[in-house]
């Protein structure tokens, strides 16, 4: 038995198949490309059963054309520190894993040319302990152009699964 979906089914089909077009996908390509943009987040909400409160922000603003890794290496050398790992002992930083969200608009970034070396190194430590999604105090301090150029907001996931 052959059933054509683009035409009215023959009347001789049994009742479940008599109105087959009603059950077929009548939508064209546009129905399969429809998208919805949802903008909602549990991050930062301290109310309700799921809590993931805001903890802190980190971000550096380098001058256009500057290589962030070279700038940070120069500041480290000026401070007499051998490597980024030495910053762990010098600066207080959160001792728990946190959720890290990139900040699109970050006017609060610390401008490297105007800040003190101490302020810049404290921010660079936090950025070096962040991946794109997680702040982990146990990971090595990694400075890449991407990690130093991003601005992040950190959230405490302590009550996330409560």
Over residues 11-23, the pLDDT tens digits come to 565 666 655 555 5
Over residues 46-62, the pLDDT tens digits come to 555 556 777 899 999 99
Name the phi and psi angles at 141, rounded to 5: -80, 110
Residue with tokens 């070096």: 128
Q: To which H or E segment does residue 29 belong? A: helix 29-32
Q: Is the pTM of this model over 0.85?
A: no
3-state SS class at 34: coil
Rounded Cα distance, 156 and 20, in Å: 54
């Amino acid at each position: 038995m052959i059933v054509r979906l683009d035409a009215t089914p023959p009347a001789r089909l049994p009742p479940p198949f008599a109105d087959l077009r009603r059950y077929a996908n009548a939508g064209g390509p546009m129905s399969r490309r429809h998208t919805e943009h949802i903008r909602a987040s549990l991050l930062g909400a301290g109310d309700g059963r799921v809590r993931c409160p805001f903890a802190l922000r980190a971000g550096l603003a380098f001058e256009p054309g500057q290589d962030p890794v070279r700038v940070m290496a120069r500041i480290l050398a000026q401070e007499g520190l051998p490597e980024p790992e030495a910053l762990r002992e010098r600066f207080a930083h959160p001792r728990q894993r946190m959720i890290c969200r990139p900040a699109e608009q970050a006017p609060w970034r610390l401008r490297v040319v105007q800040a003190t070396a101490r302020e810049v190194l404290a921010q660079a430590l936090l950025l070096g302990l962040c991946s794109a999604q997680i702040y982990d105090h146990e990971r090595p301090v990694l400075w890449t152009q991407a990690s130093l150029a991003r601005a992040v907001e950190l959230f405490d996931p302590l009550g996330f699964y409560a």
